[in-house]
Amino acid sequence: MKSYKSLLIFVLFSLIQFQIKAQAYDGSIDRKIFAGYTHVGDQSGMDIKYDIGFTDYFSLGLGITHLFFETPTPSDKGDEINYFIQKSDFGFFLNFHLFQKLIPAPEIDVYAGPDFTFKSMGIHGGVKYNFSERFGIYFQALQSYSNSLYGLGDATDDPTNHFGKKFSISTGLTINLN
């Protein structure tokens, strides 16, 4: 909990210190890292994503999500790896930045697009707000409609797939790498 308070203080300090002159999406030259809290179904965890713009309206990214929940004590290294895999998901996403003309504020970016991961497929939508040239915040919601490549059965019947057919939200910091 202390780390969340430190993160909040850092964000508030950054808002005060920097002038609002940043762009949330810079088109084909845009490269960002997203890192923050995520909540998938009834589980909490962390999200780390990398997003790179390839046109003025589209970007492609990679992401990993890791959930924090109790697992049985591993009996060997194989169990330990299996539990880590059960709590993690990796994949890519496409963002459509089609709202730039509707929202004249360059520091705000509203986006939407599909997600394709090992454990789920779905659609997401979100908003980024850059409060400086380097830092910003984001909020994203995702609805998974399929189990994707992991567990071809019904997600409710597969206790090891914590991502398929679930609603999730994520929020955190963005770091502009340009």
Look at residue 170 and tell me whether its pLDDT is greater than 80: yes
Torsional sign, CA 48, 110, 91, 168: positive
Residue type for 136, please? G
* pLDDT tens, position by position, 72-122: 776 777 778 888 888 999 999 999 987 777 887 888 999 999 999 999 999
CATH of the domain at 26: 2.40.160.20
- Write the CB contacts of 4 (distance below 8 Å, at least 6 apart in sequence): 37
b/e map of 93-112 (b: 16 or more CB within 10 Å)?
bbbebeebeeeeeebbbbbb
Q: Which domain range does residue 124 map to? A: 2-176
This prediction has a pTM of 0.78
146 in Cβ contact with 165 (< 8 Å): yes
Give the CA distances from residue 124 to residues 23, 79, 133, 147, in Å, rounded to whole numbers and listed in that order: 21, 32, 25, 16
For the chain, how many structural domains are there in total?
Answer: 1
* pLDDT tens, position by position, 124-159: 999 999 999 899 999 999 999 988 766 555 544 566
